[in-house]
Structure 1
Amino acid sequence: MATLELTADNFNETVENNPIVFLDFWAAWCGPCRNFAPTYEAASEANPDIVFAKIDTEA
């Protein structure tokens, strides 16, 4: 499963309707965030039974 972009509109529904949700808080200007993104995406693909979501801290 690809990572899911969370916003104020879908946050509660996603967290309440899934037993496990990993959250990655990121920003476009954040170098470590950009470096971690491929690892997070790979973990998402390797674990389709878990929701991997990203929250843009600047949105």
Structure 2
Amino acid sequence: MKIGDKVEKTKGYRWPGVIVSDFTTLKGERRLIVECTVTEVAGALHIYNPEQLRLLD
């Protein structure tokens, strides 16, 4: 997964969006920031582990 990819959270609430940032925590763990594309909350940001997301077509 990389910046610009369309993704969706795989479990729990639905969160479709676009990866806007990719970084490593101080513990060395990768995190991705996803900007939501649902109209009602468009622009909202969430941080996820890559394992929490799946690529969309």
Shorter-chain TM-score category?
A: under 0.3
Greater C-alpha radius of gyration: 1
Pick the structure with more helix per residue: 1
Pick the structure with more strand per residue: 2
- TM-score normalised according to structure 1 size: 0.25
- TM-score normalised according to structure 2 size: 0.25
